[in-house]
Structure 1
């Protein structure tokens, strides 16, 4: 199940791709300046009925090095199965777009960050074929911004500092600096920063501190309350998002198989809000002879007529 903290770890980059460049500079990477950044569809589902989605996918354009892709993954804890998924994402995107593809993994604790940083190789030790080595962002390398003046200079970097250090001893000072800096930020931008930060804080004591700090400014406190109320409806929202992604996957599979999809079929798929029905249609989309075939239960139609079998046997 996707958590609020998980969303905050990658969404801040999706909404503000330029933050990646400012962070990379702080980490010592000399990247060519971007001329354009575009958020791409994160769906990497193939014709097989396996749904795969990257958390955030961004395409950067540069004049000196050309375009490249950045896949952003939020990771809450070590998962032995994840490196193979990351390798799939990178190789799939590299093959599909024919562009250099980079992977950034954002973590909230040092243990997970240390695990994610370890290179994982496919192949025998003396004959490696593919090595996964992502850029890992977490409390070990994200700057601690505990000075209100520094927070004002880059309010989004200050929010990222709070999110990635949510479980660190410095979090109280970071939140105090961030809340102080928010007083000089336009309300529309500040409300967005409040939302990222509120999503990224999991500790009850820390969330309470953040609430108390926001109470000094009524407008931002309203934003915090709005986020709390929206959490209650997030489960329903996740179900809707799941249905939407499955509908997209069905249409992708039908398109990859070069099957003609009528407006009527497309509308019926897109209007369906039942994840279980969509999952069934997705499985059928892999082998259905026509786009309309996803709605048909061919297992029953293919079964022999028992009465005819009995009469033949007599």
Structure 2
């Protein structure tokens, strides 16, 4: 079964085709700015009982020189010795069918898989290979760790992909908090798909709950399907009372993840607070707090 994180790692390029230009710069090559991008059929099946599908396929038309190329994007969750041969087939098929130069970008969420995917793969005699595969690979080993709000706002799509690829990073709480903060002043039409793609990309990792907590802080801003889901959960628990209790428990969860000791008195104060705005302020402070007093500071 295809996971949500697998979908997000390649679908983000369908939502933001120009993102590859910035990712290519991160990876050390200069592609330039596209004039347009077209989502193309991903079915690479021949007229034989053999089905092959690339995760995402884009036709990129360049702005500067008017050249066009095909970009195949694969989300890879683990090492698979069969994949390099499949990728070679994809690229050869695309070149033959569309007569356009193809490129391959592999997106990973763990360093070991990314380093494996980046290794050249040759077909033919060791002394005279006829084909050599050299994919571009984006993963936690080379994508930026964005913890500056201003930097995130400069390129929200890149910040989103960076957060997804760093889903298992020890700094993921700070990365997600940065992204959430960067989204507060942007239109809903921009924020909503990013909220959803981030949630999908985090999958069932512990960071997914942290993202839900951040989305839940200000439901009046977030209008995405995820925020609606959180809002429905709040209604089921008793509207404001349910929201307050959920945020209070999230505060305690984040303090626990940060290694902050919470006394019985402080726990009772957090769980007993029924004011959603106060709890939301505490929730924002919890990930970076070194003590419970840091959370309560300024009330």
Contact 1:167 1:203 in 2 (8 A): no
**8 Å contact from structure 1 (residues 14, 58) kept in 2:** yes
| Gapped regions of structure 2 (runs ≥ 5) | 232-299
**Residues 179-218 of structure 1: pairs in structure 2 closer than 5 A:** 179-218=180-219
* Aligned residue pair count: 229
> How much has 1:36 moved relative to structure 2?
1.7
Find the aligned partners of 1:165 and 1:82 in 2 and give their Cα distance.
Answer: 23
Deviation of 1:79 (Å): 0.3
Task: Give CA-to-partner distance per residue, 1:193-238, whole Å, 9 cap, x none.
Answer: 0000000113542111111111111042763255789xxxxxxxxx
Q: 2:44 maps to which residue?
A: 44
Structure 1 runs of 4+ aligned residues shifted over 6 Å read none
**How many angstroms apart in 2 are the aligned matches of 1:196 and 1:171?**
16
Counterpart position of 2:72? 71
Which whole-Å deviations, capped at 9, do the CAs of 1:95-123 have from their partners, x for residues lacking one? 11111110000001101001101111111
Moved more, 219-228 or 63-72: 219-228
Larger radius of gyration: 1
After superposition, residues 223-302 of structure 1 pair within 5 angstroms as: 223-226=225-228
CA distance in structure 1 between the partners assigned to 2:148 and 2:17 by the alignment: 24
The 3-state SS of whatever aligns with 1:220 is coil
* 2:90 counterpart residue number: 89
Question: Matches of 1:151 and 1:202 in 2, distance apart?
Answer: 21
Asked if structure 2 preserves the Cα contact closer than 8 Å seen for 1:214 and 1:221, the reply is: no
In the other structure, the counterpart of 2:159 is 158
Whole-angstrom distance in 1 between the partners of 2:32 and 2:73: 19
> Distance in 1 between the 2:224 and 2:26 partners?
33
C-alpha separation in 2, matches of 1:224 and 1:93: 36
Q: What are structure 1's unaligned runs of at least 5 residues?
A: 230-314
**2:125 maps to which residue?**
124
Residue 2 of structure 2 corresponds to 2
- Residue by residue over 1:28-49, the C-alpha shift from the partner in whole angstroms, topping out at 9 and shown as x without a partner, is 3122432221111111110101
Aligned equivalents of 1:102, 1:204: Cα separation in 2: 30
Name the Cα RMSD after superposition: 1.8
- Report 1:127-146 matches (<5 A): 127-146=128-147
**Alignment partners' CA distance in 2, 1:32 and 1:185:** 26
**In the alignment, which residue of structure 1 is the partner of 2:102?**
101
Q: Could you say which residue in structure 2 is the equivalent of 1:245?
A: none
If the length of structure 2 is used for normalisation, what is the TM-score? Answer: 0.73
SS at match of 2:222: helix
Quick check: 1:19 aligned with 2:19?
A: yes
Distance in 2 (CA, whole Å) between partners of 1:13 and 1:222 is 19
User: 1 CA distance for matches of 2:135 and 2:53?
Assistant: 17
Within a 5 Å distance, the mapping from 1:22-33 to structure 2 comes to: 22-33=22-33
CA contact (8 A) 2:192 2:223 kept: no
